[in-house]
Structure 1
């Protein structure tokens, strides 16, 4: 068939949008049009549109980072259509999605602000990764002194960050006399709506305190918990879509068949009827987000670093390794799950069993390297808070201390077999230098207060961390895991 586009949809043999895309109007502006967003929030909108709903909530993508240019150009070339492939262990199902109707390229500040000023835009959403919120690990709060934020404060009419752009959009909207849009964060951060609110308000305060107060008093920031394993797209996935489903798509998205979205219903400007697509609306999302961040995201970290050090490529292969699988099981059962408060209507043990099943899905092709990515931003959100909570209660942190030591050992930049680990963190050079110093002085790693806060100086944690790190360097990952597991 011809390249994927509106004109070639009739040639697609898989399900395609059952709605008139020309009749879809913009209602959502979304920063961060990556694979997760396209497999998750956009997929929910596509479901609604196929039901004849939410046709006034078409999505306009918004790019900020240089890498967004390629995504924008790729999607624009195929009329913003793309293939979503949902994979269970036994089957793969593809369909073409069409809720994205436009994409504003990075640098087009005037058009971005103009779009946010349009009263038809009722939601501005974000998936900009955990590291995109300028959080100071020492304080746990937004860092207004970050150079990128300071630059926006000095040039509020020509901002370069997501938060500077949102502030400019809200300012223009207020001047025009339009009600503010709702800001919906969909990143894996505890209290993500609250975190986003602080970032937006404090960015505004640097240049316009009156506007900051208005935002704080008038703009809604609902918290959300989102979940779907979505690996990166490579030539492998593009070839599979072409060969298995007959669709020449340069931007397909592969994901598991599981999806979850728990959301606080706080949308004064209006919202799509997302409950019709399976979204669970709750008064307080905190229990669900804590469960997901600690059990799933924390579990990913537990899997990632021993597997990376043992040269395991795919996550499902890591779950086939008895040492990695048993390490995950023991750390989760002994230390992580007990640190998660009860969740309404949810059995935490059953939730973890589902997490393990999902990670073992061989169809996903999720890579260990992806799980290892960006530890300097993920560890302070997914692992260290659990350590801190358990230390405060006088409980064991043996397994979590080993996880932290494995991360340090991974950041030294070489696997147990001697294979070089390519840069896999925005702070890789610093992490590698510190990890190599920590080989002879483990405390050097824990002195990174922007990551560990005060937890790194706790003597119980520091002693356990040092012991495990020394064992990893002396005996290797496999032998150290056997020691922990009592083998």
Structure 2
């Protein structure tokens, strides 16, 4: 039996479920990119807000790439389960906040009508960096945007709202693009100035594009996961999501037409998202990358194995608590030491099986924000960063490519740099004035001496953390 409103009474009593009348609610949110992360995050928060008494914030999802999610959710009337896994077991909840999914395809007119509906107040997005159609300099790539993107759909919907005399929408990004709200506002403005310039003043005056920071680990659901869940709860859920107990959502307090009371169910509504975003990049993501490259060298496959390694854990703790945290101007009430402790607890969760090789992908695109910014800030203050430099050496050995295939857009160039420059010149070839990886940090002479010592072999991490 498949999950649906009619089969809810067949669930085992231990499965939590929504308590509001879905049929009495209208759609208030149109979400683009309704994958597993959205279902475990924004839709999950919205379900909690509806369960706490909010009304008329149901979600219609727009599936941009395939019909798969529509085929999973629509036969279930939008219902799905979220299962939180930890070392202490699992708990499952049925989420009711998604009304339906519109599949990918030629859907400009129906999506525009949905955006122009009087009840719609928020258009939200989980589209990854590629979906923003940015060119190398950060401006809008019109060739990509005009060939099929969120901008075309939004422009038609916003035009209909304006012509009908309705107010604007909140355009809420829910992904990992840095300063995603500011970026979306700029790119949408560029699109409108070319395609509908008369709409630009209305967009600027009536719409809002808040920045948000999202965080939750959501591994891909496997067939084995679905089979196991079915045997546990008694019903088949084709749209099941597996995740960790932790979740974080920090949103800039900038809305055009109201919002759900997400802050009453765990989200943070703040004046400035930047300190939280910086902490995530430099502490969480920085530690993740260190675990990936050092863990792979130690023969580990998963994050929980790497953080449990007594040679690696001291480095990761120093990276977060001493090196990264010292570069962050914390917001009021933002406790970075407590944040580091929560990250270590999450990393140690054995139930998620978060693969190191996935985190190791595209390192040349990630480490400028995750490591190089911290190195630059600490270097300017005269402080050394042995934990990050040790991790950087592990990444350099990784991209040499003589142990495993390197999944990186600069894989060929990095292997060529190793072949040409070897250990003596690799750090300048990669990070120097004309290096392959751009960023705010250039290695100092002390950095070069440290790398020359650590680079040839992994050695003992703890040795690298002792002062000379």
TM-score normalised by the shorter chain: which range applies?
Answer: 0.7 to 0.9
1:312 aligned to which of 289, 300, 312: 300
Deviations 1:101-141 (A, max 9, x none): 1112222232222221222211011122245445567x5xx
Deviations 1:121-164 (A, max 9, x none): 11011122245445567x5xx232x3xx3343xx4xxx512234
Q: Is the Cα contact below 8 Å between 1:3 and 1:249 reproduced in 2?
A: yes
Deviations 1:252-305 (A, max 9, x none): 212221222222222221211223322222222222222223212222222122
Q: What pairs up with 1:52-67 in 2 under 5 angstroms?
A: 52-54=53-55, 56-65=56-65
- Separation in 2 of the partners of 1:434 and 1:251? 40
1:460 aligned to which of 441, 444, 452: 444
Deviates more, 1:394-403 or 1:13-22: 394-403
Name 1:254's counterpart in structure 2.
Answer: 242
Name 1:109's counterpart in structure 2.
Answer: 108
Deviations 1:29-65 (A, max 9, x none): 11121222111111111112223323x1111111223
Q: CA, structure 1 residues 105+373, in 2 after alignment: closer, same or farther (shift >3 Å)? A: farther
Q: What pairs up with 1:183-332 in 2 under 5 angstroms?
A: 183-332=171-320
Name 2:370's counterpart in structure 1.
Answer: 382
Offset, 1:355: 0.8
Number of aligned residues: 458
Asked if 1:100 corresponds to 2:135, the answer is no
Q: CA, structure 1 residues 28+448, in 2 after alignment: closer, same or farther (shift >3 Å)? A: farther
Q: Is the Cα contact below 8 Å between 2:169 and 2:206 reproduced in 1?
A: no
Which secondary structure state, in structure 2, belongs to the residue aligned with residue 334 of structure 1?
helix
- Separation in 2 of the partners of 1:342 and 1:398? 23
Q: Is the Cα contact below 8 Å between 2:430 and 2:437 reproduced in 1?
A: no
Name 1:9's counterpart in structure 2.
Answer: 8
Q: Is the Cα contact below 8 Å between 2:364 and 2:437 reproduced in 1?
A: no
Asked if 1:150 corresponds to 2:143, the answer is yes
Q: Is the Cα contact below 8 Å between 2:372 and 2:439 reproduced in 1?
A: no
Deviations 1:214-269 (A, max 9, x none): 42333211222322222222233223312333332222212221222222222221
Name 1:338's counterpart in structure 2.
Answer: 326
Q: Is the Cα contact below 8 Å between 2:82 and 2:242 reproduced in 1?
A: yes
Name 1:89's counterpart in structure 2.
Answer: 87
- Aligned-residue Cα RMSD (Å) equals 2.9
Deviations 1:81-116 (A, max 9, x none): 211112333131111112111112222232222221
Q: CA, structure 1 residues 340+37, in 2 after alignment: closer, same or farther (shift >3 Å)? A: same
Q: CA, structure 1 residues 203+246, in 2 after alignment: closer, same or farther (shift >3 Å)? A: same
Offset, 1:444: 4.2
Q: CA, structure 1 residues 403+254, in 2 after alignment: closer, same or farther (shift >3 Å)? A: same
Q: Is the Cα contact below 8 Å between 1:409 and 1:435 reproduced in 2?
A: no
- Separation in 2 of the partners of 1:26 and 1:466? 60
Q: Is the Cα contact below 8 Å between 2:127 and 2:175 reproduced in 1?
A: yes
Q: Is the Cα contact below 8 Å between 2:361 and 2:406 reproduced in 1?
A: no
Q: CA, structure 1 residues 20+236, in 2 after alignment: closer, same or farther (shift >3 Å)? A: same
When normalised by structure 2's length, the TM-score is: 0.87
- Separation in 2 of the partners of 1:391 and 1:8? 60
Name 2:344's counterpart in structure 1.
Answer: 356
Asked if 1:123 corresponds to 2:111, the answer is no
Q: Is the Cα contact below 8 Å between 1:380 and 1:451 reproduced in 2?
A: no
Name 1:431's counterpart in structure 2.
Answer: 410
Q: Is the Cα contact below 8 Å between 1:113 and 1:169 reproduced in 2?
A: yes
Asked if 1:47 corresponds to 2:26, the answer is no
Q: Is the Cα contact below 8 Å between 2:162 and 2:202 reproduced in 1?
A: no
Name 1:18's counterpart in structure 2.
Answer: 19
- Separation in 1 of the partners of 2:269 and 2:279? 16
Ranges in structure 2 where 5+ consecutive residues have no aligned partner: none
